[in-house]
Structure 1
Amino acid sequence: MSAQTDSARPGQARKVLLSSLVGSTVEWYEFFIYGTAASLVFDRLFFPDFDPLVGTLLALSTFAIAFVARPIGGVVFGHFGDRIGRKSMLVLTLTLMGGATFVIGILPTYDQIGVAAPILLVLVRLVQGFSLGGEYSGAVLMSVEHAEGRKRGFFGAVVNTGAGWGLLLANLVFLIVSQLPEAAFDAWGWRIPFLLSAVLVGIGLFIRLKLGESPEFEKVKKADKVRKVPVLDVLRNHLSLVALMCLAYLSAGVTFYIGTVFSLTYGTKQLDIDRSLLLGLVIAVNVLTIIGIPFFGWLSDRIGRKPIFLAGIVGMLVLPYLWFPMLNSGDTALMLIGFLVLFVPYAANYGVMPTFFTHIFPTGVRYTGMSIGYTLGTVLGSGLAPIIATFLLDQTGSWLSIALYMSAAGVLSFVAALFLHERADTPGQVTATVAAKR
């Protein structure tokens, strides 16, 4: 069977890639503006009666709680994505995420309605996490399953730049509103990024509604091989793959969220670094990832995905011991170099992750299996990372404990990834032997 049959026409594939990238960028923008606000201002607005450390931990906990809802969203959207198709689930996830984000922008604070404010914040945050639980896997699958075999690594990587674009937009908006006087920022400035999301959601929905369905899902449907209860199939036959995928993700999640979320709290409160400078550094490193992630995806189509995935983990395991001293120096140039060095291996690992993870499960349960494995990894890695880092710093007073934590996550991910393999029927798969001949 030809590659043209297995994948969409090139023009259609590029259209799907663009739509998935835009939608993914919107979703991540909304997610990251919350993380930034939780680090900078939510402790004062929603938890003002607590000790500063406790307030920060509580604010970051509301950031983490969305990760708890992600696996539930992964199960629900994965089930229906494997039952009725990828496209409809992507429209629904974007709608839910956009509505929840806009609501946060109009929420009253603790001073206005008391304890009801943080309760409402948590409820809306759960909706955000629930929707994002089905977003990532669906966007990746739509793009990868539309792509030709030799372009799948690149297509998956481009979708993964949505995280970088989303964080870049989120920090640019916060960088602008952070120029306001602190009183104005606390009163209404922090709401602007959340309200602006309505415009981005409208654009994302307009593009996604024009998508065609995944050709690989259509093949499963035509062959009458759609699973009745995909989640049960995954739990009965592929549970070990779910666990390994979860652990394989840890290093990337811990590195990214400590580098982009925890660093804001650590830099402003421990090192007394200007908030705008830190946001500028995070913006700079995202430019690197937006360039680096597609490069490593392109490279994986030529030399294979697993070697790059493992090499990235090794870098993230070792380089925190260089990043923290450079951050602690307070020198702008050194801090920038430190961020760039830490995020090169992250870009390598995260660049090949979507296509590597896509081909772990058979097509009939791919949405469900990938959603559960990936979202469980985000709970243990991404969601808990800023809280664990804050706790370790308070208990030890040293960045070394956080670096050791990042290394431990790297060891777990490396060992788990050793046991993950792309399926033998993966289109365009590059083996070591084939790579050596190229």
Structure 2
Amino acid sequence: MSKLANSIVPDSIPVDHKKQQKIAGISSVLGSTIEWYDFFLYGTMAAIIFPHLFFPDQDPYVATLLTFSTYAIGYIARPLGGILFGHFGDKIGRKVSLIATLIIMGITTVLIGLLPGFDTIGLWAPVLITLFRFIQGVAIGGEWPGSVLISMEWGTKKNRGFMAALPQIGVPLGLILGTAVTSLFIAISGDSFQTWGWRIPFILSLVLVVLGLLIRFNLMETPSFQKVLKEKELPKLPFISVIKDYPKQVVSGVLSNVSSDIAFGVFAFYTTTYGINYLGLDKSIFVNATLVGAVIAVFAISITGYFSDKINPKKILGFGNVLLILWALPFFYLLNTKSTGLIFLAVIIAFIIHSTMWAPLAPVIAASFPAHLRYSGSAITFMFRGLIGGGFAPLISTYLLHTFDSGYAIGVYIITAAVIALFALRFVDLKYHKED
């Protein structure tokens, strides 16, 4: 395998570091945007379309639970994708894995857009939507760590934190793109959105995938991985090596970052369901509020990423969790007023707070592992925190609201996760932050 990696990463080609750094930054942002556009598009349709399309014979509460269960499936698949693409990312290189994840994500998203509903193919509809969601999760499992590493490892010691945070911008950008396209086709198709209008945003993903691939083919392998090829014997099973040699980094990385995914699962996805089903408000209020919040998050993540090079990213992450504890209950108080202006305020502040956790999350996780295991270590940590956190957040929120008939129960859930994260941060070790 090391011979194959060396053939893919020749050391005889002269490298323009600044040019590659720019390409790496653009590639990581664009690739992450495409991947998360696809992923968030599913989350949006899970709230407003899929319960009726794929689970039409169920009680509304049961249909919502089943829909968010398929949403959770995507998160359950992430660790598998992290292990799979982490293996090849540490054995062959970051670039190859990133190209593969982009292709897989794009094809699967188009298939979702072409999938007939329950009325047409019966039980095959929920079975196939679950399968496609699982494959999406596998792709995301390899995309995030690869994007972070290829950007961070082309950075310098002065801007490594900012470079690592760049792929995080792809999350709100993907949400913006997905929400904007959804809003556009709601307006264009009108009542037909329920039948064919919702499909177009999924199919359009193919155009974005082609654009992303064109950029990634021009990107060279990172200096860190080339150094590993020259100086170290590549591990036979990177996943096993990570679990065996770095269990503390994995556990502390998962628990210290789980609150950010829970918060995002609630703020970006479940809020729409809460507003429509519980408050009885029009979905456009929450779709538009989420869109504005995501636009602001792009700038908030960029600023926070910049300061992660000036301040220890652990401190920034801890500060974000403190803010989350303070905002979780007021967030639902403002939603419950049913005032459009206050709902927008609640969502915007929530996105800003989440950004203070989301930007330093990347350097905190990636800097916890040495270069020869960094892809696998980052992938395993990030995906398990996503599984525990965001994957089940809408599902647990649905249960809590149904059981306690109050959004404040969801707020307590968020606060509990943030308290756990603050405790786990004490054990996070960034000893590899300036290794290479």
Do the two structures share a fold, i.e. TM-score over 0.5?
A: yes
Given candidates 70, 82, 105, the residue that maps to 2:78 is 70
Give 1:180 deviation, angstroms: 5.1
**Among 224, 230, 236, which residue is 2:238 paired with?**
230
Q: Would you say the 8 A contact 1:148–1:427 is kept in 2? A: no
Describe how 1:151-190 pairs up with structure 2 within 5 A: 151-179=159-187, 183-190=191-198
**Contact in 1 for aligned 2:367/2:432 (Cα 8 Å):** no
C-alpha distance in 2 between matches for 1:343 and 1:195: 28
Q: Does 1:58 align with 2:66?
A: yes
**2:9 equivalent in structure 1:** none
Give the stretch that moved more between structures: 206-215 or 341-350.
341-350
1:239 corresponding residue in structure 2: 247
Work out the number of aligned pairs and report it: 422
One-letter amino acid of the counterpart of residue 265, structure 2: Y
Q: Residues of 2 paired with 1:188 and 1:305: CA distance?
A: 45
1:127-146 equivalence runs, <5 A: 127-146=135-154
Q: Show the counterpart of 1:101.
A: 109
Task: State the SS of the aligned residue for 1:426.
Answer: coil
The aligned amino acid for 1:411 is V
Distance 1:130 1:301 in 2: 31
Q: 1:288 aligns with which of 269, 283, 296?
A: 296
Q: Does 1:218 align with 2:226?
A: yes
Asked whether 1:406 is paired with 2:414, we answer yes
Q: Who is 1:323 aligned against?
A: 331
Instruction: Give SS of 1:206's match.
Output: helix
Residue 225 of structure 1: how far off its partner (Å): 2.9
- Matched with 1:435 is none
SS at match of 1:226: coil
* Structure 1 residues 425 and 107, CA gap change in structure 2 (3 angstroms): closer
Answer yes or no: is 1:111 the counterpart of 2:119: yes
CA distance in 2, matches of 1:340, 1:427: 37
Q: In the TM superposition, what is the alpha-carbon distance from 1:224 to its structure 2 partner?
A: 3.5
Is the 1:26–1:200 contact (alpha carbons within 8 Å) kept by the matching residues of 2?
yes
Cα pair 2:289 2:348 within 8 Å, conserved: no
Distance, in Å, in 2 between the alignment partners of 1:54 and 1:8 is 56
Counterparts of 1:10 and 1:120, CA distance in 2: 44
**Alpha carbons 2:65, 2:398 under 8 Å: kept:** yes
1:244 Cα deviation from its structure 2 partner? 1.4
Alpha-carbon distance in structure 2 between the residues aligned to 1:425 and 1:345: 24
Q: Which amino acid aligns with 2:241?
A: D
Measure, in 2, the Cα distance between the counterparts of 1:424 and 1:360. Answer: 6
Task: Name the aligned partner's letter for residue 266 of structure 2.
Answer: I
Structure-2 separation of matches of 1:158 and 1:85: 20
Q: 1:309 aligns with which of 317, 341, 348?
A: 317
Quote the RMSD (CA, aligned, Å): 1.4
TM norm structure 2: 0.94
* Alignment match, 2:365: 357
SS of equivalent residue, structure 2 residue 159: helix
| CA–CA separation in structure 2 for the residues paired with 1:69 and 1:304 | 32
Query: How far apart are the structure 1 equivalents of 2:71 and 2:63?
Result: 13
The sequence identity of aligned pairs, in percent, is 37
TM-superposed CA distance for 1:318, in Å, is 2.0
CA contact (8 A) 1:105 1:195 kept: yes
Amino acid at match of 1:305: P
Whole-Å Cα distance in 1 between the matches of residues 140 and 298 of structure 2?
Answer: 20
Contact 2:37/2:174 (<8 A) preserved:
yes
| Structure-2 residue corresponding to 1:279 | 287
The code of the aligned residue for 2:212 comes to G
Shift of 1:421: 1.7
Deviations 1:233-266 (A, max 9, x none): 1111112211111112211001111001100111
Q: Which moved more, 1:418-427 or 1:106-115?
A: 418-427
Q: Among residues 368, 372, 376, which one is paired with 2:380 in the alignment? A: 372
The separation in 2 between residues aligned to 1:255 and 1:8, in whole angstroms, is 40
- 1:148 is aligned to 156
Check conservation: 1:65, 1:383, Cα contact below 8 A.
Answer: yes
**CA drift at 1:11:** 2.1
SS in structure 2 at match of 1:309: helix
Q: Distance in 1 between matches of 2:433 and 2:327?
A: 36
List per-residue Cα deviations over 1:133-154 (Å, max 9, x = no partner): 0100000000000001110111
Cα distance in 1 for partners of 2:188, 2:120 equals 22
Q: Does 1:90 align with 2:98?
A: yes
Equivalent-residue separation in structure 1 for 2:432 and 2:112 (angstroms) = 45
Q: Tell me, which stretches of 5 or more residues in structure 2 are unaligned?
A: 1-14
CA contact (8 A) 2:102 2:209 kept: yes
- 1:18 aligned to 2:26? yes
Mapped contact 1:220–1:363 kept (Cα < 8 A)? yes
Q: Which amino acid aligns with 2:121?
A: I
| Residues 370, 432 of structure 2: 8 Å contact kept | no
CA positional deviation for 1:10 = 1.9
Structure 1 counterpart of 2:322, one-letter code: V
Segment of structure 1 superposing worse, 245-254 or 332-341: 332-341
1:158, 1:73 → 2: CA distance? 21
